[in-house]
Structure 1
Amino acid sequence: MINRAMLRGGDIRGSVGGAEADLDATAARALGAAWVDVLELAGGAFVLGHDMRLGGSELARAFAEGAALRGSDVVDLGLCSTDQIWFSAAVLEVPGVQVSAGEHLVNLNGFKFCSARAGLLPEKLLLQVINRAVELERSWREPARQRPTAPIVVGRVESDDTLEDYAEHLRNNIDLVGLQELTVVVDAGNGMAARTVPAVLEGLRVTVVGLHERLDGTFPFRSPNALERMSQETARAAVQEHSADLALVFDGDAGRCAVLDETGELMSTSAVATVVATEVLRRHPGGTIVVDPLTEAALGHVVEGLGGQLVVAPTGRRALREAMERVGGVFAADHTGHFLFSDFYGADSAMFCALHVLAAVGRGAAPLSALASAQHRFLTSGELNLVADDPQRVLAAVGEGFRGHLLNGERPDELLMRGRAGERGEWWASISPRAHEDWLRLTVEAEDQAVMEAIRDDVCWFVSQLEPVAAVA
């Protein structure tokens, strides 16, 4: 059954499978009908896609049925990455819906939304969609009541495929001329990158060492979360085995991407942002780069040194997008792995980010580790999961324990910490609960390896003293 707690960060997400599932065909059909009612799409259209998660095609089909019953046409892309939906919505100038739970666990699925031109929808509007869907679902599940009469004009559901257009757009908006041949490990994680990466890299001088390329919504080999250390182990070994130039490790929906350098070491999100910002400013000299407070520590001197302008905004895709629109930004990044581009209609794209990294390495000036270290001075812990039975209580206690280092953030469920360890330089840390899971997500970066490890270990030790808590996963 649909409930209001399923609205999280602009997505509607819930459990699938089993008698107690939040989402089934009836719930998805109600959401589709509510989507059309609230956005007044009767007589209009929207674009719809889904990834390979369990039940994704069934949920998409039911959502389309509910929408069509309320009079909206549906452009069904079938299997696609999340950023392909953003692209398609922008090009077709219609709203977009993607059936996906991103990097979250296998028993979850959900819906991601955007407006025409790939803009983000207000959460108040999505709450209206949920409220309307709750009402419809309740009435449709009552045996004694009939489904509301359909409008006289029922919408059409038509299939389309925008993958080639999406891939061409990415290639056309990066300088890829004269790049040297590269060997790149690509770990699709049994997710949508297995479909998008070959299309995007077609015709480029890139030899791909593919890992986990079979689409499988059970994620049999690793977590769909690419930023977890354990998700990167196979790619790390493959980099060394094949003497690859770098590795790209994607989330299940291809929504985020971890980058490993030629030694197999994980690049922090701010290191990746540094390389990408340099590439973007080659194309947009003097452009404005938007970053969150934690990424500012790493990018500030780089952007200014390249003649760009730096604007700081709160963490999160919504805040970054709003700031980009306000100041005319050409690129935006935060510490959680969101990368937004004006050349991608202001939307978030891990694949576009990865292509910028490939372009930087392909010019042959230096290996990726040297490119990053020349401009970026922060080392990362990667994303760690602290398993806790009561994440909110633990989060509150951590905030109290590290009060002297707290930053004010826009997201009330995330603690942002920042400090300086004397001559060893700056550090920052982020800790937040993972939706629908009894985990806290921790990331630490510092200019000094020993400082990074000390802050990481201090936070982990502090959490371990709070009951009931398990271990680091």
Structure 2
Amino acid sequence: MPAPPEIFKAYDVRGLHTEQIDGDVAHAIGRGFARVIADLAGKPTSELRLGLGRDMRLEAPDFARRYREGMVAEGAHVLDAGQVGTEMLYFLVGSRELDGGLMCTASHNPKAYTGAKLVKQGAIALSGDAGIGELRDLVVGDQLGDAPGGGSSEEVDLFAEFQEAALRFIEPSNVKPLKVVVDGGNGMAGPMVGPILDRLGLDLVETYWTPDGTFPDHEPNPLLPENREFIMRKVVETGADLGIAWDGDADRCFFIDDTGRFVDGDFLTAILAEHLLAKKPGSDVLYDARASRAVADTVSAAGGTAHVNRVGHAFFKTRMRDEGAIFGGEVSGHYYFHDFYNADSGTIPALLVLEKLSVEGKRMSELLEPYRSRYFISGEINSEVADGPAKMAELEQEYGSRPGATVTKVDGVSVDFDDWHFNVRPSNTEPLLRLTLESLVSEQDMEARRDEVLGVIRA
């Protein structure tokens, strides 16, 4: 079947298996990926060393085989890590200094989806701005021609090496025997993170911990409230100190405090930044344009320097590599670490939070109280609009001209006042504007300002 152009997204390849991506399309993507990486690396495909991993989806073994065959057909040597979490593919590319890597995954999407996450040397993600567009043109435009052949592959086992690398981010003896509910969403967290947590002497309540591509219990997307209701209840029922839930390919983790309340990504970024700055004082930290001022305030108070950044892992990883920030956090649950090849991880944040709770002797709700009582955030709210750029210009004119306003355009349009601010940015794939707003006055003030700005957006 021909590859439909819409499967090539802003940061990855994603589509319905069989209907949009079949084995032949996967083979073509494998070939095209090798070509794109060869161009980026400035070397022939016959000299490439590429990594490959796959998640637990039912079609993943077959699709990964076809990706591998495509890369080998172009002459590349493929290191196949088998069934792993996505960050283990990043670890493979970074630790072996490979030219790139392909992870066969549809991340947090429902079971009908398949796809690939793609990185170049240094585990830096390809994006629509750099690499994925070229891949789309090769595959959709049927520009691949005959394959030169001559490649090869080998299987590699990363688990022991990865576990040791992750544990180096903490002092394992610091971690107390906390009671922790873990929800793997029948994804890759169980086999990837489970053995590490088992070594820490925790009282683990394991749920949906076995990989199962049918997702019999709930979709592996903890950002959706309906998918985290279970773990929120379970934390309260079991009297646990903490709950941790992962998405399908386990490169993102989400936290539930001891009262059963979801922990917002802004506040988790601030907590992680504070803990890391205690280990490496004076360092730089990145945070995304949607985030609460809690992040910048916490980083500054901890002696670091905070830098606002464009949303998207390609932009975070590249800037961290170029400027040396020790950590970057996104509201969506992506957390990046300089000492982990600037890659995002769902393992390292879990370890750091467990260490911080243990060292400080506080409950998660206690760590969060100073944030929740001062920073009142709306979360991200989507609105369908006919003309996104025109609406953002209208918002900039309406609010940017008010006394005390500061307008920035790191990502979309941000307007800041002394006691409140908002960011509005377009979706990469849909006719949507995404609003995040924060008040430093009260929950009621946030809600009133949120409704006012939404009124302009939706007028």
> Shift of the alpha carbon at 1:104?
2.8
Q: Spell out the pairing of 1:144-159 with structure 2 (5 A cutoff).
A: 148=146, 150-151=148-149, 153=150, 155-159=151-155
- Looking at structure 2, the residues matched to 248 and 418 of structure 1 have their Cα atoms a distance apart, in angstroms, of 33
Deviation at residue 57 of structure 1 after TM alignment: 1.9
Shift of 1:455: 4.9
Distance across 2 between alignment mates of 1:54 and 1:393: 38
- Counterpart-to-counterpart distance in 1, 2:393 and 2:214: 39
CA contact (8 A) 1:36 1:42 kept: no
Structure 2 Cα separation of the partners of residues 429 and 228 of structure 1: 21
Deviations 1:230-265 (A, max 9, x none): 221001001101111111121111122221111111
* Cα distance between partner residues in 1 of 2:13 and 2:410: 20
Q: Deviations over 1:368-395 (max 9, x none)?
A: 11112236633445566x5x8xx45285
Structure 1: stretches of 5+ with no match in the other structure: 140-147, 467-473
Structure-2 residue corresponding to 1:143: none
- Select between 322-331 and 120-129 the one with higher mean Cα deviation: 120-129
**1:43-442 → structure 2 map (5 Å cutoff):** 43-94=47-98, 95-121=100-126, 123-136=129-142, 148=146, 150-151=148-149, 153=150, 155-295=151-291, 297-374=293-370, 377-381=374-378, 391=384, 393=386, 399=392, 402-403=395-396, 404-405=398-399, 408-409=408-409, 418=415, 425-428=419-422, 433=427, 435=429
Is the alpha carbon distance of 1:449 and 1:54 closer, same or farther for their aligned partners in structure 2, counting shifts above 3 Å?
farther
- Separation (CA, whole Å) in 1 of partners of 2:111 and 2:157: 26
- More displaced stretch, 394-403 vs 78-87: 394-403
Give the CA RMSD over aligned residues. Answer: 2.9
Q: Secondary structure at the match of 1:2?
A: coil
Q: Which one of the candidate residues 30, 41, 45 is aligned to 2:45? A: 41
1:15-66 deviation per Cα after TM superposition (whole angstroms, max 9, x unaligned):
213xxx2211001111111222332332332110111234222211101011
Q: Deviations over 1:112-159 (max 9, x none)?
A: 1112221233634332222222344897xxxxxxxx3643x3x22222
- Deviations 1:54-109 (CA, angstroms, capped at 9, x unpaired): 42222111010111122112111121111111111100111111111222343322
Q: 1:345-387, CA deviations, whole angstroms, 9 ceiling, x for partnerless residues? A: 1111122122111111122431111112236633445566x5x
Alignment: residue pair count: 441
> SS where residue 158 of structure 1 aligns?
strand
Assess, with a 3 A threshold, how the Cα gap between structure 1 residues 418 and 47 changes in structure 2: closer, same or farther.
same
Q: Which runs of 5+ in 2 are unaligned?
A: 39-43, 401-406
8 Å Cα contact 2:174-2:355 kept in structure 1: no
Tell me the residue number matched to 1:25.
Answer: 23
C-alpha change, 1:428 and 1:246, in structure 2 (3 Å) is: farther
**Is contact 2:124–2:318 with CA below 8 Å preserved after alignment?**
no
Distance in 1 (CA, whole Å) between partners of 2:108 and 2:82 is 19
Cα distance, 1:304–1:408 mapped onto 2, change above 3 Å: closer
TM-score, length basis structure 2: 0.86
Q: Distance in 1 between matches of 2:425 and 2:131?
A: 28
In the alignment, the residues of structure 2 paired with residue 438 and residue 107 of structure 1 have an alpha-carbon distance, to the nearest angstrom, of 23
Q: Aligned equivalents of 1:221 and 1:455: distance in 2?
A: 38
Q: Is the 8 A contact 1:163 1:199 kept in 2?
A: no
Q: What displacement does 1:313 show?
A: 2.2
- Residues 318 and 214 (structure 1), Cα distance of their counterparts in 2 relative to 1, 3 Å cut: same
**Equivalent-residue separation in structure 2 for 1:248 and 1:438 (angstroms):** 33
Contact kept in structure 2, 1:268 and 1:379, CA below 8 Å: no
